[in-house]
Chains A and B, each alone.
Chain A
Amino acid sequence: MNMIVSPARSATPNGTTRPQVRIVIVGHVDHGKSTLVGRLLHETGSLPEGKLEMLKAVSARRGMPFEWSFLLDALQTERDQGITIDTTQIRFRTRSRDVVLIDAPGHAEFLRNMITGASQADGAVLIIDALEGVRDQTRRHGYLLHLLGIRQVAVVVNKMDRVDFGAARFEEISAEITAHLTGLGVTPSAVIPISARDGDGVAAHTPNIAWYKGPTVVEALDALEPARALEALPLRLPVQAIYKFDDRRIVAGRIESGSLIAGDEIVIMPAGKIAKIRSVESWPFTPVEGRQGAGRSVGITLDRELFVERGDIIAHAGASPRDTRRIRARIFWLHDKPLAKGDSILVRLGTREARANVVAIEKAIDPGALSNEEGKSIARNHVGEIDISLAQPIAADPHGDNPRTGRLVIEVNGRIAGGGLVLSVDAGQRAAPIDIVPVESALRPDERSARYHHNGAVVWLTGLPGAGKSTLARALERRLFNNGGSPILLDGDTLRAGLNGDLGFSPQDRSENIRRLAEVATHLARNGHIAIVAAVSPARDDRDAARRIADSAFREVYVSTPAEICESRDPKGHYAKARAGSLKSFTGIGNDYQPPTGADLVLDTSARSVVEATEEIERMLARTGILFDELTDLAANI
């Protein structure tokens, strides 16, 4: 059986040589978007056979006059309501373009769907009812086109038949909308009088609009350009993942702008580490020799072992994005609960996910009314400018410099709640990456492990205050040392006295405390030591961040001693103080400890002795490749 169809002649797949443009049609509800789409499909001969007849039959059965919009409102729920609730994508061809038409709902209730559709567009058609004129949704959609970065906009004034194809009414609307859009920095490419229902101005100049000399809708679409070239901008490669499926360590991601080739010197932001691209990996053929440009999903290997993680941005040395913990953004807000000063949010920029706080709301605007509101919050479907403080440094560009790494989305409770453009990026505290020249250790990892009989590791002991973390950490340290190893104890409280002396107990400071512990511990682990960290580290997110930093060296031990027993031990007198109300933000008597779900080991110290518990940790370390089984592994090394 021959299942592989061999090509009989060379392929010329249809549509591959014509520029494809993605268009969104937006505007106030009932101003005729779906009708225009239906008419466009008809005029360009793009309707599937029998579809028009089927819809006419459905309309007749329901005792309704035929509507072009039925074509799109294919969902029963929509037909019943008479409004489009989501975006659909429809394809047709003009003379020189393949057009992907994204229909987006006009109803204010469904702004999230309008944004979902419009965000994919290269250009937009803004539709206005000639009788009703510019309405709040018209203005709002105009504003959102600006915020979504869409600069090619054609305006159509629809239902001209209902104003007797009057040129004066057309000019009035044209002047109003042109002024509004120009004020947002968007210059309309055309303003076109049409009747979508009857076809005037859609594909032909009809006698009804003899006074109009500009392009028809089809001609205006024909003049749209595909999305702007991103290749001319500096390289931005947000890291999606590190793959170690075989002996290659592949850094995977999509080139958002610029280009790269093996041999390029790169900088990994926000950390500012420098490396060279050793190879560009691919499948089924690898490596790829040529230069790779914006839009490609690639995998690269580097010339040295560096810590790289998802969310980092790879750039060329000397042309990198900023590293920052402070961003000003112009955003639209879609969540039911208004965005207010002090709110905790999750920011996604490129592949980076970072917890953040809204430190200021500079402007809050209802883009429909265009009034500058006094309030301290941004309501649903409104826009505004905010200052964001990030829990960790991230790499970003102002939107004016790079549209891809200059935009972000905001998530609340795991659901996207808003998004917008980066207006400005405050400089981080760190020196410019060009000044950083990492010095590699003179020793190789295997030289160290041969001496210590173990690999480097971060043993992270988490649990309630009084659970026994410090006791266990000290016992483990002694034990490993006595066996010739190189353990180093990093106690949370001890480090707070020095390195972390500037940090308090707010969620942000706790995160930063954990980040620093993890960075120090990881540095030790990479140099062959076993860093034993004893820290309450109540937040799962923080521990996950530590795991990401330490990567494969991370071993989490959950010291799960029950809360009552921890309180009865109270070695530092903290529980007593907290009960008395003199110790704020104390983890233990509240419910703010989030137990690990995927710990490498769970130990309840109320049920076993210190010696037994220490042995269990040792066994876990041996099982997971940190401690060598003396005889066999040493023998293997000889």
Chain B
Amino acid sequence: MDVLTTESARARLRQAPLIQASSLPEIAPPSMDHLDQLEAQSIYILREAFARLKKLALLWSLGKDSNVMIWLARKAFFGRVPFPAMHVDTGKKFAEMYAFRDRYAKEWDLDMRIEPCPPIDAVDPTLPPAARSAARKTEGLKLALAKHGFDGLIAGIRRDEEATRAKERVFSPRGLEGEWDVRDQPPEFWDQFNASPPQGAHLRIHPILHWTEADIWAYTKRENIPIIPLYIAKDGKRYRSLGDQDITNPVASTASNIDEILAELDATKVPERAGRALDHETEDAFERLRVAGYL
């Protein structure tokens, strides 16, 4: 008798009685904590980017967020980062940041691209000083994009940093000039991403968009990821966020290790980027920068 001739019979065959003992969970898998979930999601995003784009680069700003991002990329690709890491260099970072870059680019075997920014005269003079300085970095980024022809840039921005960044998509299409059209972002749901930039344009990919500042520190500690010592308090001050030397200020802190940083973050209501001058010059300075293609 042929019992396999109808679909319903086949469907019955797929049911429980035919599952082999070897495939049944004998012990429940360990449950995932908050950091495990963040990590798994970021790895998924990085692998999607690598599968769907032709020429990727990871933007390494040397800060705590992009260091976590490189760590996640190494996890996603089993120890190696299979695309270049790019540092768009304003030339005005702290000495500790350059030392960190040169040491770990080698130690982590990164395929480095260090790209300069144009002189400040080449940048929109109507912007306030710090915003103008940041816009210079955007110009540097545009030049680097044109030079290498990347169609995807992986960037370490987070939703909780700043209100305009909260509006971002994980895969964020940019215009031909690198600009961001916040009013016409495509829908993005169920981890299905819009990954087809028009010819000549590029995508930004944001693998840690869903992380918070506290998540970054807790994960940095758990994974023992190296950090720049400027984040640790010295003489009652530490940097919460690192940018150019002349437009970044430290915050009052006594945190001498990551646990103490986390304890301070838990208590504070001061925003992370409070020390970044460019966010506070005018009400819309940051948004203007982002629309033009700033991170």
Contacts and interface: CB of A to CB of B under 8 A. Distances in A.
Interface of A: 1-9, 11, 13-16, 20, 47-49, 58, 74-77, 85-91, 112-113, 115-116, 119-120, 148, 231, 235, 240-241, 243, 245, 248, 250, 252-254, 258-259, 261, 263-265, 281-284, 286, 290-293, 295-297, 299, 310, 316-320, 334, 348, 351, 407, 409, 411, 414-416, 419, 427, 431-432, 434-435
B151 to A, nearest CB: 12
B4 interface: yes
8 contacts: A7-B224, A14-B262, A89-B159, A282-B78, A296-B29, A296-B36, A310-B51, A407-B190
A148 B189 CA distance: 9
Interface string B195-209: 010100000000000
Given A15-B34, A47-B269, A91-B212, A419 B167 contact: no
Contacts of A74: 163-164, 166
Contacts of A248: 78
Given A48-B270, A76-B284, A297-B44, A409 B192 contact: yes
Interface size class of B (residues with CB under 8 A): 35 or more
Contact of A259 (B13, B20, B25, B82): B25
Given A245-B80, A245-B82, A290-B30, A88 B13 contact: no
Given A245-B77, A291-B27, A76 B283 contact: yes
Contacts of A5: 221, 227, 232, 257-258
A409 B189 contact: yes
Interface string B126-167: 000000000000000000000000000000000110011011
Give the 10 A-B residue pairs with the shortest CB-CB distance, closest first. Answer: A414-B196, A293-B29, A13-B218, A74-B163, A119-B189, A112-B187, A49-B269, A297-B43, A316-B23, A291-B29
Nearest to B196: A414
B169 interface: yes
A284 B79 contact: yes
B119 interface: no
B237 interface: no
B155 to A, nearest CB: 17
A115 B188 CA distance: 8
Contacts of B23: 235, 264-265, 316-319
Contacts of A243: 77-78
B256 to A, nearest CB: 8
B32 A293 contact: yes
B196 A415 contact: yes
Contacts, number: 236
Interface of B: 4, 7, 10, 13-14, 16, 18-20, 22-23, 25, 27-37, 39-41, 43-44, 47-48, 50-51, 74-80, 82, 99-100, 103, 159-160, 163-164, 166-167, 169, 182-183, 185-190, 192, 194, 196, 198, 210, 212, 214-215, 217-218, 221-222, 224, 226-229, 232, 256-259, 262, 265-266, 269-271, 283-284, 287
B98 to A, nearest CB: 12
A279 B2 CA distance: 38
A299 B78 contact: yes
Nearest to A149: B190
Contacts of B39: 297
Given A76-B284, A85-B183, A265-B20, A348 B192 contact: yes
Contact of A245 (B78, B103, B183, B212): B78
A8 B257 contact: yes
B14 A432 contact: yes
B160 A91 contact: yes
Given A295-B37, A319-B19, A283 B75 contact: yes
A295 B20 CA distance: 24
Given A231-B29, A261-B25, A415-B196, 9 more contacts: A8-B256, A14-B266, A15-B34, A74-B166, A86-B167, A115-B189, A293-B29, A295-B40, A407-B190
B96 to A, nearest CB: 8
Contact of B18 (A4, A411, A434): A434
Contact of A75 (B167, B218, B256): B167
B110 to A, nearest CB: 15
B40 A319 contact: no
Given A75-B164, A291-B27, A11 B7 contact: no
B34 A16 contact: yes
A386 to B, nearest CB: 18
Contacts of B262: 11, 13-14
Contacts of A291: 25, 27-30
Contacts of B192: 348, 409, 416, 419
A622 B289 CA distance: 52
A295 B196 contact: no
Contacts of B30: 290-291, 293
Contacts of A86: 167, 182, 185
Given A14-B214, A297-B44, A318-B14, A87 B167 contact: yes
Contacts of B190: 119, 407, 409, 419
Given A115-B187, A318-B20, A427 B7 contact: yes
A318 B24 CA distance: 11
A484 to B, nearest CB: 38
Contacts of B210: 89
Nearest to B8: A427
Contacts of B259: 7-9, 11
Nearest to B162: A74
Contacts of A120: 189
A290 B40 contact: no
B227 A116 contact: no
B20 A20 contact: no
Contacts of B4: 431-432, 435
Nearest to A414: B196
B159 A1 contact: no
Q: Which of B76, B78, B186 has the most CB of A within 10 A?
A: B78
A231 B28 contact: yes
Nearest to A266: B23
A405 B218 CA distance: 32
B263 to A, nearest CB: 8
Given A47-B269, A431-B4, A319 B14 contact: yes
A116 B189 contact: yes
B99 A75 contact: no
B19 A16 contact: no
B19 A318 contact: yes
Nearest to B214: A14
Contacts of A91: 160, 212
Nearest to A335: B187
Contacts of B74: 283-284
Q: Which of B13, B192, B198, B287 has the most CB of A within 10 A?
A: B192
Given A1-B99, A1-B229, A77-B183, A116 B188 contact: yes
